Amino acid sequence: MKVISVISMKRILLVIFFLSTPTWAQYVHRSNPGDPAKAGQAITSAGAANCPGAGCIVVNAQSVESVQVAIAGTWSATLAFLGSNDGWLTTIQLLAYPIAGGALGSPVTTTTANGVWLVPVLAMREVRVFASAFTSNTSMTVRLDGDPVTNFTHNRDIKDGAGRSFVVIGADGVTPAIAETVITFSQNKAGTVTAGLTSYTITANKILRIQSINCAFTAGATANIVRPHLRYNTGGACVAGSNLLLPICELAPGFGTATATEGESSCSVTVPDGLEISGDGTKAICLAESAIAATGTLTCNLVAYEY
């Protein structure tokens, strides 16, 4: 029987360890564990063909909740914040929240200036700062720092930050139309009310999180059925022919008499986790309806917030 010495066994285990350890050369320094004084790296070219390489800085983000990106120096380029969970076969655009004055600002997806950003990266295997356009570099330094987390004991989520604003869209006492028609509503955004609107455009670089939609219909002397809808346009004002995002419900109350409107029906659609739509300044939503008869009164409201 051949006996392997303890020294030989240690050598074998050491070889296995190095063969099974990922190659970290392409990754930027992470501040902890590591050397906090280590200098950042520079991007000196643009284009996907140069990444990994001179066109990007990459960090391994497994078990990391967020990454801090710090960019300084003299340079001219357009840098994008990107992530991937399949080895960069699929690239995902990430939202980066600028940190200034101890608070988080509105998220961006690219930058052309120095600064510090917080980038949520849950479910990402890798994160990179990528040059989609490059002109020059004199003294650029880019650092991506993130620490593994063992639990999620947030006191406050990113969506609950200082940039959050409530959005309520409401229409009261609307006479339904037989053909699909956009409902005219009043918009209350962070306390500012705007009346006479038919379309809500989601703010660029913000996320609209829809929490609930509530509708009620009171019939007149004629039996009626009303179907309110939530519609969505990815490139311009929302209209009756825009994509159907959500058929809200079908309101079919009983009906009263010529002198009494007693029939009433209501519905409420709640989304506990939120229905989220990212804004680019052109995407819009609207409330629309169609009915069997143009009688009765319809009331609807949509409750959401942007962050």
Which structure tokens are listed for 30? 């992470």
The confidence score (pLDDT) of residue 156 equals 47
Domain boundary among 129, 156, 183: 156
Kindly report the CATH number assigned to the domain that includes residue 122. Answer: 2.60.120
Element (H, E) at 217: strand 207-218
Q: Is residue 229 part of a domain?
A: yes
Tokens 């209501």 found at: 266
Residue of 95, 134, 127, 96 whose CA lies nearest to 112: 134
Q: Is residue 4 part of a domain?
A: no
> What would the mean pLDDT of 182-188 be, rounded to a whole number?
97
Q: Are residues 259 and 185 in the same domain?
A: yes
C-alpha span between 307 and 297 (Å, rounded): 33
The answer to whether 119 touches 95, Cβ cutoff 8 Å, is yes
**Interval 36-67: pLDDT, tens:** 556 678 888 887 778 878 888 888 887 788 88
Whether the full predicted model's pTM is greater than 0.75, yes or no, is: no
String of b and e for 139-158 (b: at least 16 CB within 10 Å)? ebebbbbbeeeeeeeeeeeb
The answer to whether 67 touches 144, Cβ cutoff 8 Å, is yes
The one-letter amino acid at 265: S
Q: Are residues 137 and 198 in the same domain?
A: no
**Interval 70-122: pLDDT, tens:** 999 999 999 999 988 887 888 889 999 999 887 889 999 999 999 999 999 88
Burial class (CB in 10 A: 0-12, 13-18, 19+), 238: buried
The confidence score (pLDDT) of residue 15 equals 45
Number of domains, the chain: 2
Q: Domain limits at 32?
A: 24-156
